[in-house]
Chains A and B, each alone.
Chain A
């Protein structure tokens, strides 16, 4: 049984802060097939199209028939731990600071032998469910979980290295004025966050839900306007060292394409808020988070972006907004590379149209703010980095993978 994680003790101001020490993320190109699956929380292995052999580690040829047709496919996660060991002396700083560290040889029911990290509740002979996670450096990692859930299994010391569990962590929700922001505050509090900072721009302006935010336990409103550099710098100076998870909830969705708008004012606003706002947050909060990537139970761990799924392919009905979302997506990819040095995960939530006022004209199915908030918590707890929320987002993902050009035409015809 896992030992429930304890709240972090008060920091000793003269004690050294744990420094993020990363493993090499260098992998063969074939192995990045696992990276792609891990990013979305899938479990895929190479499956030979000619003979059906499932193989691991990823290869360039089938180890049974030498075929080169080796797509990654969903496979059965079940297996058994054949033998395990506890590593007490490790060659890399990252593990030296985390020993004892348990690994084992797992025989998957679908065939391959996998050297895997072990959850504390599994050992030799255990039936397991294999998860494909990403490590602090962003590389894919096999992690053997108990086949049947066990108490406090999320709190397993090794498992927490691969997740961004909000439990006992401090979160900044950058915009608390919106339904989405407020849903996230509730969901993160419910998930055990020790503190939720809520950014409010121009606090003198009233907004719905202000009272309940003010009354909520462990919630603190802070002044934050991501379109104002001075405001972001000031906020980071006040609370930056206490932000373990940052969730950027700013939104700017407006109906309309390019030609049917008058001028560029609204589009500029969207870019200012969504992409330059992200950049301001990255500049002010990013360096502190990156330095705190190994700072104990409440180490900094995640920078979450809520992105409209149409960041991936322009939806002309919301054409200018799609472009601003695409710009934010591109920035997030850069940020992911920069924050990786501190072991901080950039989590992108691709969301279909929401049940909010700005999506009034979008047809259903739509995503409720509460559903999105739950999905964020789920992504953090399960270590995902790309998450597709709602039917529209998942549909878009599938159509994009199948034929991007078709998707462009289809969205353009709508």
Chain B
């Protein structure tokens, strides 16, 4: 008997909103610590919301580079005193998972004002050290095999996907080029030099078939937002977004020899059913894009196209802000940079800005509904965490 299959209908996130999206401009390398970056984001958040640090009664933190500290230590470091505290070490799924937990806390009255923040530093040797000790399986069974890091893991996943679904490098290139177009209007993107499909194809090989522009640039940065009741956001004068539905899944399809689908494929039906909208209603999509192949899997597994049809989908659609399928409207991590766990917040914070008319770069016209998707933690041979949320303008 499967208890999961018999689960009752999920409760809606009544009256809970997310607001005050914050992005601290990224830096390629930083001499500051993760604490500093998280501090900048929280400071910007309370300034934007007109709050004092002690007004925050909930805090959710995601970071890879806090060293000895957890979220608990951060409360003293930053002078906050939350009655609800969360630490979400889930990489690219951190933003959505922080959001859905915080939303339930607010809905149930465990907290009133939850600040969700993700930040990481990138000192010159940070990235290599993070890779080496990323997980026990990475230490024991992946990193010593060529030390290619996620580039090598995704090379295997990408090559397998190409063989299975006849995807070409140019198909992946369309995603990267469109995102660079979007990034050119997003002042905080680290990579804003125009990128042509030819330049994408001609870039140097990193781990076949991954080439330079398939990879994200590790950097330092922080992102944050606030979760509270709709009336609270109104009282603070903060434009906000509602949470129509969320999903989360870990270690799905463990028997697939190579990853070609993520946990979204298990839970997408529930996501759409809970949200009350359909893929056709979505005005913009923010996927987790640490390599373009994983964005393609999100197109498919979330139901924007059939399995294996993402290559045709990207050929048939214009993925830029002004196009018919706006995707990763700030430029995504591929152009903005990957600031560690903040990469798991990037799309979420960007969708909040788009839905509330506060875009830093180009604004998607009349954006009412968005899907944000997260993916994280290459523990051994594949990403284990997947999450997605449907957001709507209030």
A-side residues, CB < 8 A to B, are 23-24, 26-28, 31, 56-58, 63, 82-92, 94-95, 101-105, 107, 113-117, 124, 135, 139, 141-142
Give a binary string over B29-44; 1 marks a CB under 8 Å from any A CB, 0 the rest.
Answer: 0000000000000000
Instruction: Give the complex CA separation of A63 and B152 in angstroms.
Output: 25
Is B146 in contact with A57, judged by CB distance below 8 angstroms?
no
Instruction: Give the complex CA separation of A124 and B254 in angstroms.
Output: 21
Chain A residue nearest to B138 (CB atoms) is A57
| Apart from A57-B140, A85-B209, A139-B144: 15 A-B pairs, beta carbons within 8 A | A23-B144, A26-B139, A28-B139, A58-B140, A85-B152, A87-B146, A87-B152, A88-B206, A92-B128, A101-B146, A103-B146, A103-B148, A114-B141, A115-B156, A117-B145
A33 to chain B, nearest CB (A): 11
Instruction: Give the complex CA separation of A89 and B139 in angstroms.
Output: 19
Residues of chain B with a CB closer than 8 A to A103's CB: 145-146, 148, 152, 156
Q: Which of A56, A83, A115, A124 contacts B145 (CB 8 A)?
A: A115
Is B155 in contact with A85, judged by CB distance below 8 angstroms?
yes
Instruction: Give the complex CA separation of A280 and B204 in angstroms.
Output: 51
Q: Which of A56, A63, A92 contacts B147 (CB 8 A)?
A: A92
A89 to chain B, nearest CB (A): 5
Instruction: Give the complex CA separation of A74 and B231 in angstroms.
Output: 65
If A83-B258, A85-B152, A105-B258 touch, whether A23 touches B147 (CB-CB below 8 Å) is yes
If A57-B137, A57-B140 touch, whether A90 touches B146 (CB-CB below 8 Å) is yes
A-B residue pairs in contact (CB < 8 Å), sample of 6? A28-B140, A83-B163, A86-B207, A89-B206, A91-B127, A141-B144
Is B159 in contact with A84, judged by CB distance below 8 angstroms?
yes
Residues of chain A with a CB closer than 8 A to B146's CB: 87, 90, 95, 101-103, 117
Chain B residue nearest to A23 (CB atoms) is B144
Instruction: Give the complex CA separation of A117 and B146 in angstroms.
Output: 8
A204 to chain B, nearest CB (A): 51
Let me know if B292 is at the binding interface, CB within 8 A: no
Let me know if B325 is at the binding interface, CB within 8 A: no
Instruction: Give the complex CA separation of A117 and B145 in angstroms.
Output: 6
Chain A residue nearest to B131 (CB atoms) is A91
Instruction: Give the complex CA separation of A90 and B148 in angstroms.
Output: 5
Residues of chain A with a CB closer than 8 A to B394's CB: none
Chain B residue nearest to A24 (CB atoms) is B132
B163 to chain A, nearest CB (A): 7
Is A27 in contact with B140, judged by CB distance below 8 angstroms?
yes
Chain B residue nearest to A116 (CB atoms) is B145
Is A95 in contact with B147, judged by CB distance below 8 angstroms?
yes
If A31-B140, A85-B155 touch, whether A90 touches B147 (CB-CB below 8 Å) is yes
Q: Which of B142, B206, B257 contacts A82 (CB 8 A)?
A: B257
A140 to chain B, nearest CB (A): 9
Chain B residue nearest to A141 (CB atoms) is B144
B122 to chain A, nearest CB (A): 14
Let me know if B381 is at the binding interface, CB within 8 A: yes
Chain B positions 99-140 with a Cβ under 8 Å from a chain A Cβ = 127-128, 131-132, 136-137, 139-140
Is B147 in contact with A57, judged by CB distance below 8 angstroms?
no
Instruction: Give the complex CA separation of A141 and B147 in angstroms.
Output: 13
Instruction: Give the complex CA separation of A124 and B127 in angstroms.
Output: 30
Chain B residue nearest to A111 (CB atoms) is B255
Give a binary string over B46-69; 1 marks a CB under 8 Å from any A CB, 0 the rest.
Answer: 000000000000000000000000
Is A105 in contact with B257, judged by CB distance below 8 angstroms?
yes
Count of B interface residues, CB-CB < 8 Å: 36
Is A85 in contact with B207, judged by CB distance below 8 angstroms?
yes
Residues of chain A with a CB closer than 8 A to B140's CB: 27-28, 31, 57-58
Chain A residue nearest to B210 (CB atoms) is A85
Instruction: Give the complex CA separation of A374 and B136 in angstroms.
Output: 39
Is A85 in contact with B159, judged by CB distance below 8 angstroms?
yes
Chain A residue nearest to B259 (CB atoms) is A105
Let me know if B312 is at the binding interface, CB within 8 A: no
A45 to chain B, nearest CB (A): 12
Shortest beta-carbon contacts, A-B, top 10: A85-B155, A92-B147, A57-B141, A87-B148, A87-B146, A31-B140, A91-B147, A83-B160, A90-B147, A101-B146
Instruction: Give the complex CA separation of A31 and B132 in angstroms.
Output: 16
Q: Which of A56, A89, A124, A135 contacts B207 (CB 8 A)?
A: A89
Is A94 in contact with B147, judged by CB distance below 8 angstroms?
yes
Residues of chain A with a CB closer than 8 A to B206's CB: 87-89
Residues of chain A with a CB closer than 8 A to B131's CB: 91
If A82-B257, A85-B208 touch, whether A56 touches B141 (CB-CB below 8 Å) is yes
A161 to chain B, nearest CB (A): 11
B31 to chain A, nearest CB (A): 21
Q: Which of B141, B149, B205 contacts A88 (CB 8 A)?
A: B205
Is B149 in contact with A91, judged by CB distance below 8 angstroms?
yes
Chain B residue nearest to A90 (CB atoms) is B147
Is B156 in contact with A28, judged by CB distance below 8 angstroms?
no
A207 to chain B, nearest CB (A): 47
Is A105 in contact with B381, judged by CB distance below 8 angstroms?
yes
A56 to chain B, nearest CB (A): 7
Give a binary string over B302-331; 1 marks a CB under 8 Å from any A CB, 0 the rest.
Answer: 000000000000000000000000000000
Instruction: Give the complex CA separation of A317 and B310 in angstroms.
Output: 75
B146 to chain A, nearest CB (A): 4
Instruction: Give the complex CA separation of A275 and B72 in angstroms.
Output: 55
Let me know if B380 is at the binding interface, CB within 8 A: yes
A142 to chain B, nearest CB (A): 8
Let me know if B333 is at the binding interface, CB within 8 A: no
Instruction: Give the complex CA separation of A28 and B380 in angstroms.
Output: 14
Is B144 in contact with A135, judged by CB distance below 8 angstroms?
yes
Is B141 in contact with A85, judged by CB distance below 8 angstroms?
no
Residues of chain B with a CB closer than 8 A to A89's CB: 148, 151, 206-207
Q: Which of B136, B145, B147 contacts A28 (CB 8 A)?
A: B136
A407 to chain B, nearest CB (A): 33
Among B143, B144, B206, B208, which residue has the most Cβ atoms of chain A within 10 A?
Answer: B144
Is B257 in contact with A113, judged by CB distance below 8 angstroms?
yes
Instruction: Give the complex CA separation of A89 and B212 in angstroms.
Output: 10
